Amino acid sequence: MSNEPTKILIIGPSWVGDMVMSQSLYRTLKQQYPMADIDVLAPAWCKPVLDRMPEVSKAIDMPLGHGQLCLKTRYQLGKHLSKQGYSHAYVLPNSAKSALIPLIARIPNRIGWKGEMRYGLLTDVRHNRKKFKYMVERYVALSHPKKDMLGSESLGGLDKLAYPKLEIPEVERNQALKKFELNLSRAIVGLCPGAEFGPSKQWPIEYFAEVANKLTEQGYQVWIFGSKNDQSIGSSLVSLIKDDNKAHVVNLTGSCSLVEAIDLISCCETVISNDSGAMHVAAALGTSVIGIYGSTSPDYTPPLAKDVAILSTNIECRPCFERECPYGHLKCLKELPPKVILDAFDKLSSSQTNVNTRN
């Protein structure tokens, strides 16, 4: 078996935030093996994210949904991929079924973490996943020899990693601006009030509205981002905006595609977001990020940005990682007032101004 990758297949994750963080692995592999092609097998909706990753040669549509086994489809896809000449496969999900396709494709080197009954499916099984604190560290560790990866300290710290870095074609960004009749006359702050995980990640809408009102009064325009599932949240937020401020607030929830949202988020100076995929997208686009954490914790999946503020309460019951508050009070979110977010925004803005002045 060759130890140096020539053509790589990644079995990618199924969530937007995880997919963004996985770019750190692709960037590391490309640094190590500049001539290797990297293809990523992932759900079709991930393609807009992968298209903004210059390290990825091709995004391959995974025709099965999350949790589906469907051995026949996996066998057919594996046989098709066996003709593509892959030397290495990196399996990022931890399930047994995620490792079947590289096995069927007869890819000689198959690397991944120990998961459910994966012995025999992988040729390089890593057993010490919990010694790596952050998800991004667990991804990057797979690119290094097993013998060298003893824990987080082996990678030299989070700030030593190649952070995700999405690249936006200017032509496509301008097309999105034109399509939605947007302009850059005022600095833009993006708000991402939704979270697919559940209510325990969603900062109160009335708090988002208070922040939006304050920012528009300070001379900013506010763009609200979210999927079709967030349309009611976006509408509720807009209904709480003062009439005098509504001219500077744009609700994009449910109206733009994921790729358009990515391109438009790149126009933002700062993004204020719940712990969600949008937060990780914003971080990878180089914007300042204010990440709001309720039931979850940044100790595993923090936004990987240079200018970031991570905000949460310190109540005894968090983080519980539940989709809905077990006690029904949502204090982890409600006891984080808008003033805390606005103070963080002012601090980030001042820091950016000082940097620009020095430059």
One domain, residues 23 and 106: yes
One domain, residues 207 and 273: yes
Rounded Cα distance, 295 and 321, in Å: 5
pLDDT in tens, 86-97: 999 999 999 889
Rounded Cα distance, 256 and 265, in Å: 11
Return the structure tokens found at 53: 């990753």
Place of tokens 């001379």: 219
Residue 343's pLDDT band (cuts 50, 70, 90)? very high
Sign of CA dihedral 251, 255, 258, 264: negative
Residue 350's pLDDT band (cuts 50, 70, 90)? confident
- Helices assigned H by DSSP within the chain: 16-32, 47-50, 71-81, 100-104, 135-141, 170-179, 205-217, 231-239, 258-265, 277-284, 331-334, 338-358
Whether residue 263 is predicted with pLDDT greater than 60 in this model: the reply is: yes
The predicted model gives 124-152 an average pLDDT of 95
User: Phi/psi at 82 (nearest 5 deg)?
Assistant: -65, -20
One domain, residues 291 and 222: yes
Nearest partner of 266 among 49, 56, 58, judged by Cα: 49
Name every residue whose Cβ is closer than 8 Å to that of residue 309 and which is 6 or more positions away in sequence.
289, 290, 291, 344, 345, 347, 348
Look at the pTM and tell me if it is higher than 0.85. yes
Whether residue 194 is predicted with pLDDT greater than 90 in this model: the reply is: no
One domain, residues 93 and 230: no
Q: Where are the beta strands (DSSP E) in 47-166?
A: 58-61, 88-91, 109-113, 124-126
Return the structure tokens found at 26: 């692709």
Rounded Cα distance, 250 and 265, in Å: 13
Provide the phi-psi class of 125: left if phi over 0, else alpha when psi is between -120 and 50, else beta. Answer: beta
One domain, residues 110 and 189: no
Could you give the number of structural domains in the chain? 2
One domain, residues 312 and 263: yes
Residue 67 lies in a domain: yes
Strand order in the sheet with 7-11: 58-61, 37-42, 7-11, 88-91, 109-113, 124-126
Residue 335 lies in a domain: yes
Percent residues over pLDDT 70 in the chain: 97
One domain, residues 143 and 176: no
One domain, residues 183 and 282: yes
One domain, residues 204 and 93: no
Cβ neighbour number for residue 96 with a 10 Å cutoff: 17
Place of tokens 């940005």: 305
Rounded Cα distance, 223 and 268, in Å: 8
pLDDT in tens, 207-238: 999 999 999 999 999 999 999 999 999 999 99
Residue 357's pLDDT band (cuts 50, 70, 90)? very low
Amino acid of residue 115: G
Q: Report how far Cα 104 is from the mean position of its chain's Cα atoms.
A: 29
Whether residue 2 is predicted with pLDDT greater than 60 in this model: the reply is: no
Cis check for the bond before 145: say yes or no (omega within 30 of 0).
no
Residue 159 lies in a domain: no
Distances (CA, A) of 151 to 138, 147, 163: 9, 11, 18
Residue 352's pLDDT band (cuts 50, 70, 90)? low
Residue 64's pLDDT band (cuts 50, 70, 90)? confident
Output the pLDDT for position 359: 39
One domain, residues 14 and 113: yes
CATH of residue 145 = 3.40.50.2000
Domain that holds residue 81: 7-154
